[in-house]
Amino acid sequence: MNKPNNGTVTAYLGLGSNLADPVKQVRSARADCAAVPGVRELAFSSLYRSPPMGPQDQPDYVNAVMAVSTDLTAPALLRQLQCIEQAHGRVRAGERWTARTLDLDLLIYGAHRIETGELTVPHPGLGQRAFVLYPLFEIAPALVIPGLGRIADLIVNCPRDGLERIE
């Protein structure tokens, strides 16, 4: 995988939780992500509350987006994120869009487009999800998302759908 000459890539991470004190979960996950060797925090969005995707009989989510500089490959970064999820009590039951203590997504990895059995980058659905686009726009308003275009153009066509900035 090609990287810039200095060996680092700017990646964007999605953080979300709707169980076990979601604000605390997201804040703790932020610190855990920044503590991964080879990862350095560049920016962190405000926290946002959003209605759940999928089943509506679950609490609202708290979401944020984090920009990091990393020298890890995309698969290695994904594995680190999954370890952090497990440490926060994340249980992968196979069902999509269910309540969870922590959900960490690798949204964007530099200018790369990746499609493997374990990873798709940019993250599927990123261009239509207010709980990702608005926090991402907050920290990277000039971002061009590989294969999707300028975030400023995407956000114009993405209604907030109940998304609320909470801090």
Catalytic residue among 103, 113, 150, 160: 103
Asked whether residue 3 is domain-assigned, the answer is no
- 100 flagged as catalytic: yes
Average pLDDT over residues 86-109: 81
**Which band of pLDDT confidence, cut at 50, 70 and 90, is reported for residue 3?**
very low
Element counts in the chain: helices (H) and strands (E):
4, 10
**Which band of pLDDT confidence, cut at 50, 70 and 90, is reported for residue 54?**
confident
Average pLDDT over residues 40-49: 98
Asked whether residue 70 is domain-assigned, the answer is yes
Asked whether residue 4 is domain-assigned, the answer is no
Q: Is 65 exposed, middle or buried (0-12, 13-18, 19+ CB in 10 A)?
A: buried
Asked whether residue 149 is domain-assigned, the answer is yes
Asked whether residue 75 is domain-assigned, the answer is yes
pTM: 0.92
Instruction: Check whether 28 has a pLDDT greater than 50.
Output: yes
Asked whether residue 2 is domain-assigned, the answer is no
Alpha-carbon distance 123 to 73, whole Å? 16
- pLDDT tens readout for residues 62-76: 999 999 999 999 999
Asked whether residue 57 is domain-assigned, the answer is yes
Instruction: Check whether 153 has a pLDDT greater than 50.
Output: yes
The pLDDT, as a whole number, for residue 6 is 62
Catalytic residue among 30, 32, 49, 100: 100
Q: Which two tokens stand for residue 25?
A: 């979960």
- 90 flagged as catalytic: yes
Catalytic residue among 32, 49, 105, 129: 105
Q: For residue 114, what is the domain's CATH number? A: 3.30.70.560
The pLDDT, as a whole number, for residue 142 is 97
- 96 flagged as catalytic: no
Alpha-carbon distance 76 to 160, whole Å? 32
Instruction: Check whether 56 has a pLDDT greater than 80.
Output: no
Structural domain boundaries enclosing 130: 9-165
Residue with tokens 């984090």: 66
Instruction: Check whether 42 has a pLDDT greater than 70.
Output: yes
How much of the chain, in percent, has pLDDT values that exceed 90?
A: 80
Asked whether residue 141 is domain-assigned, the answer is yes
If one counts the domains in the chain, the total is: 1
Instruction: Check whether 1 has a pLDDT greater than 90.
Output: no
